[in-house]
Chains A and B, each alone.
Chain A
């Protein structure tokens, strides 16, 4: 049936025979899309007297919001931190490949590098939406160099830095500029970190704590100054101790300013974190869980598949390992929570009316069947 043209000429698509993630539950409900956004069908019916132009039969699939990966260092032979002259094409390649895994938006992550690398790489990539060409780029995640020596992990020691000039100047000097940066991971125990945290937050950049030996008070101060994320919880930080829980203690801290939330990244591959530890974190603070891949260039399997496979396995793993973590919670950990973390949940990470129609169609085992960005199919299994 043709749509009523009273409000808009744009075609309306109705996804039928599906279960959608809405209000934290999987519900047997149709999903309507127009002009790249989720449409309210009741309003369409009563206000516009309109109906669908096209119906897509999902054959019983689950429709979840497209996944958002806020920590991915590269993949498929690409390393985002390599100072090439053409960073864009590397990012584009990865952006395209991760569509197969239901990732519709991501933050290309740069590990600790010398200023020259940041100065060269950052200006080459702008925040941009996704589409057939690949997942959308939400901005860089700069993991380092303002991190702790003791917890550098795989980061190169010689490029670690401190806030010697007092915060803002250090940031600008090191990174060159902060446009197109979505998140910065730093160690809050570094002197003068507070002004850096505030400067970043003022610019709308998410501040994450990681690669740090901060104690709980230092971490809490950073949160009060605006920090809202923990980079790969448990890894590269002091272990939980009952007299000083350290950064991990933020999950249950009572010093978080009202109305604010601390999210935590989790590489739930069963390797970085013991599933039992993962469960403790999830039970303590289920709404803060953010699933990340932290994928790197060279993994045994093609990184993408590891990533996606990892993410999907993680979800399954979460489902299998974490009693009480439902499919819905796992899906939200990969979509809603990262969107909330980045402050973009008004248009991404959910299937609410008005949100961008970035979707992933999954079977019951949570394998990706198809990926959509702004209502357009950008990948389909077997196509």
Chain B
């Protein structure tokens, strides 16, 4: 696992966006070989999307040969509802880039047969050749997508009932009327994300600090489903300072690296420095 700790939300959003951009450019996608990207929603990845749009607008990044698969969507919410994840993706990402609409996949929470919809989604991912890079976030309770505490760590795309906490947290988007908040969602499973070649988890903010510490400093546990990624060969956690508040000092120092004036020159270069410049050396970014 790599843990990349940036100073603040803006920096971590930018780092993540550069990383994604580099991966796509390095892959050099084409008509016969699409780059498949798994995508999240929510306030955490918003800054990252803004940066990706900027790279697209400046001509550095095209999504013409990229296929996307979103993690989740509410059940029973009209697709055009401002709180649906379709609306989120359209307004915050798709409408600003050049992706082919046929390649932008989001689970349909209004399908007649929800289980069949989930099954078909797994098949679509297979047909696309699997996910190259799955980008995700983490909930305050350590969940990834809607894989709430207690979800199987080998789960696949399925219908989930939302936790009470999640419903309460969402109420503010539905005029604080609990009856209007969706109670179920379709979500990719932990197993589905684990199948990806590479995973990038974005975590920002002090309210996510406890979840991060449980996810990477404790054991693999289905009560903190993000912990499953300790067993993935290529996972990167990108976070800001605030998200590290519950980590042990030792953990943070290890990943940031210690620096004293005389060791700078010839001893092990600071890990964070490596990570920070990693994204800048690759690709043709300004």
Answer yes or no: do A and B interact. Answer: yes
Cβ of A41 under 8 Å from chain B: yes
Can you list 6 residue pairs at the A/B interface with Cβ under 8 Å? A4-B102, A41-B90, A43-B80, A45-B104, A49-B102, A50-B101
- Once the chains bind, are B90 and A42 in contact (CB under 8 Å)? yes
Contacts of B63 in A (CB 8 A): none
Contacts of A45 in B (CB 8 A): 90, 94-95, 101, 104
B:78-98 near A, CB below 8 Å = 79-80, 86-87, 90, 94-95, 98
- Once the chains bind, are B101 and A42 in contact (CB under 8 Å)? no
Interface centre among B90, B94, B95, B101 (most CB of A within 10 A): B101
- A92 to B38 alpha-carbon distance, docked (Å): 57
Q: How many A-B residue pairs have CB under 8 A?
A: 31
Cβ of A30 under 8 Å from chain B: yes
Cβ of A51 under 8 Å from chain B: yes
- A48 to B104 alpha-carbon distance, docked (Å): 12
Residue of A nearest to B80 (CB): A42
A:1-25 near B, CB below 8 Å = 1, 4
Residue of B nearest to A30 (CB): B95
User: Assuming A46-B106, A50-B101, what are 4 further A-B pairs, CB within 8 angstroms?
Assistant: A1-B98, A4-B101, A45-B104, A46-B79
- A336 to B101 alpha-carbon distance, docked (Å): 33
Q: Which range holds the interface residue count of chain A?
A: 10 to 19
- A231 to B101 alpha-carbon distance, docked (Å): 50
A:276-321 near B, CB below 8 Å = none
Contacts of B101 in A (CB 8 A): 4, 44-46, 48-51
Closest beta carbon of chain B to A191's beta carbon, Å = 52
Mark B residues whose CB is within 8 Å of A.
79-80, 86-87, 90, 94-95, 98, 100-102, 104, 106
Closest beta carbon of chain A to B2's beta carbon, Å = 35
Closest beta carbon of chain B to A54's beta carbon, Å = 15
Residue of A nearest to B96 (CB): A30
Residue of A nearest to B86 (CB): A46
Closest beta carbon of chain B to A80's beta carbon, Å = 44
Contacts of B80 in A (CB 8 A): 42-43
Contact of A42 among B86, B98, B100, B102 (CB under 8 A): B86
Contacts of A46 in B (CB 8 A): 79, 86, 90, 101, 106
- A4 to B101 alpha-carbon distance, docked (Å): 9
Closest beta carbon of chain A to B278's beta carbon, Å = 34
Contacts of A1 in B (CB 8 A): 98, 100
Interface centre among A42, A48, A49 (most CB of B within 10 A): A42
- Once the chains bind, are A41 and B79 in contact (CB under 8 Å)? no
- A30 to B90 alpha-carbon distance, docked (Å): 13
A:30-47 near B, CB below 8 Å = 30, 41-46
A40-71: CB near B (< 8 Å → 1, else 0) gives: 01111110111100000000000000000000
Contacts of A50 in B (CB 8 A): 101
Residue of A nearest to B106 (CB): A46
Across the A-B interface, give the 6 residue pairs with the lowest CB-CB distance, nearest first: A49-B101, A49-B102, A45-B101, A42-B90, A46-B86, A45-B90
Residue of B nearest to A51 (CB): B101
- A30 to B95 alpha-carbon distance, docked (Å): 9
Closest beta carbon of chain A to B174's beta carbon, Å = 20
- A51 to B79 alpha-carbon distance, docked (Å): 18
Residue of B nearest to A41 (CB): B95
- A202 to B94 alpha-carbon distance, docked (Å): 48
Contacts of B90 in A (CB 8 A): 41-42, 45-46
- A50 to B98 alpha-carbon distance, docked (Å): 12
Contacts of A42 in B (CB 8 A): 80, 86-87, 90, 95
